Structure 1
Amino acid sequence: MIEKVNPMHPDKICDRVAGAIVDMAYKLHDNPKIAVEVLIGHGYGHIIIETNVDFEKEDIAMIFERIAGGKNEIRCDIRIYPQDEHLSKNQEDKIRCGDNGIFKGMPLTDEQKELSKIAREIYTSYPFDGKYILDGDRLIICQSNAKTTDLKCTYPNAEVNPLGDWTGGTNVDTGATNRKLGSDMADSITGGGLHGKDLSKADVSVNIYAFLKAQITGKPVQLACAIGDEFIDGRPYSEIVEIAREYIHSIGGFEKFAEWGLF
């Protein structure tokens, strides 16, 4: 049993905004420290950024308008604060784990891979707010701005839009960063969120590392770490950061990572 949401779901819009801000941080700084939280709904948006990067609010506003605006006029409050001085000292002389965390990477099942494929196929034709569940032979499709009858033709055995045609988006529902971790991680588990953070954060790098190792070994991977750790899973933390960096680069950046998560 698994659920996926597409990149236009309100929660994913928030993840994508946060990811795009992190992408900008890496363009402005070789080794940025950043954590971003985004909340959007009903004509209002709120962005809080903790960072060592000197951003211009106008640049953040342009990212927000590009991803969250569209035809909707949304007022956005942007707050930028310096990173806590005690946290910043953790990374002064070497790359060390940036936070406490627990992580469990799990191999993907055929069912999870199938739903990810279905979600992407539907999104290609209907790039609007949508969410999908696969539970054995039961497929549930909730896709906004699509005729239920058309989707039934393509997926005749699915339950499509149980309440009928709908419009979706941030004027219907609120969104927040890291609220769709199940959709992003399948059976993998984390104590924190994947999105809106730089690579020094264990919530990003160790989650990616554990997930990738689980796909290679075909077995669960369970890890825990403390802020300041220099080794995790018997490897220097700097190696784990580089593995995560290569993965993020391979898929096109943090904004692209935020669209679908790990699968």
Structure 2
Amino acid sequence: MFEKVNPSHPDKVADRIAGAIVDLAYTAEENPKIAVEVLLGHGKCQIIIETTALLAKPQIVSIVHRIAGRLDTDIVIAPQDRLLTDNQANGLRCGDNGIFKGMPLTDEQMQLSKIAHDIYELYPYDGKYIIDGDRLIICQSNAMTKDLKRLYSNAEINPLGYWTGGTNVDTGAANRKLGSDMADSVTGGGLHGKDLSKADVSVNIYAFLKAQRTDMPVELACAIGDKTVDGIPYGEIVETARRYIKRLGGFEKFAEWGLVR
């Protein structure tokens, strides 16, 4: 059983904005410290940013308008807590406390991810998809049921009929679709809107990739300030995550589909 949402779902729009702001921070500093919260809907977007990077509000507004349209945007930019910043002063250390469980993807999860991608290529609008054994549920905005039935004849499609979706119908918040992003993997935090020093980003990516490589569950825990996780230097875990994010094209691209791509 698995649920997947596409990049135009309001929660993923919030994730993408958060990711784009992190990308912006990496253009301002080589290794910025940043955490971003995004809440949007019904013409409004509220953003709180804690960071070491020098970011300008017009840059943030431009990101919101590009991804979500011309929402009325309220932005708070504050410096990151000094204790958190000082934790990284003499080399990379675990940037927060956390628990992490990476799980191998199942055939069912990969099947639904492909379905979500295929539908999104045809309908780049708000959508949610569920698979549970032989049962496939497709909720796709701005799509006629009869057209989707031609592609997925056995699916339950738009149970309430035609709908438009988007942020004028529903609210979105960053890190609210971790089930879609991670499948059976588990974390105590969120994947999006944070720099690579944060374990919520780097250790989650590391645990997920290791689970795919070994085809075994990976369970890890860390405390803020730890120099090693899973028996290896924390800096190596960060570099693994950095390469992964770079390969995808940045934090905004990562936010589109999460780890289950």
- Aligned counterparts, 1:24-63, within 5 A: 24-63=24-63
Which residue matches 1:68? 68
Give the distance between the partners of 1:136 and 1:56, measured in 2 at CA: 48
- Aligned counterparts, 1:63-142, within 5 A: 63-69=63-69, 73-142=70-139
Check if 1:249 corresponds to 2:227.
no
Give the distance between the partners of 2:181 and 2:218, measured in 1 at CA: 17
Give the distance between the partners of 2:244 and 2:71, measured in 1 at CA: 33
- Aligned-pair distance for 1:62? 0.2
- Aligned counterparts, 1:165-180, within 5 A: 165-180=162-177
SS at match of 2:136: strand
Q: How many residues are paired up?
A: 260
> Residue type matched to 1:189 in 2?
V
Give the distance between the partners of 1:63 and 1:4, measured in 2 at CA: 25
Percent identical pairs in the alignment equals 73
SS at match of 2:76: strand
Give the distance between the partners of 2:53 and 2:26, measured in 1 at CA: 9
Give the distance between the partners of 1:63 and 1:180, measured in 2 at CA: 21
Unmatched 5+ stretches in structure 1: none
Check if 1:151 corresponds to 2:138.
no
* Deviation digits for residues 116-148 of structure 1 (CA, Å, limit 9, x no counterpart): 000000000000000000100100000000111
TM-score w.r.t. the length of structure 1 is 0.98
Give the distance between the partners of 1:87 and 1:231, measured in 2 at CA: 17
> Residue type matched to 2:115 in 1?
I
Unmatched 5+ stretches in structure 2: none
* Deviation digits for residues 204-247 of structure 1 (CA, Å, limit 9, x no counterpart): 00000000000000000000000000000000000000000000
Which residue matches 1:214? 211
* Deviation digits for residues 179-202 of structure 1 (CA, Å, limit 9, x no counterpart): 000000000000000000000000
Which residue matches 2:8? 8
SS at match of 1:79: strand
* Runs of 4+ deviating beyond 2 Å: none
* Deviation digits for residues 154-180 of structure 1 (CA, Å, limit 9, x no counterpart): 110000000000000011100000000
Give the distance between the partners of 2:89 and 2:7, measured in 1 at CA: 36
Which residue matches 2:231? 234
TM-score w.r.t. the length of structure 2 is 0.99
* Deviation digits for residues 6-56 of structure 1 (CA, Å, limit 9, x no counterpart): 000000000000000001111110010000000001111100000000101
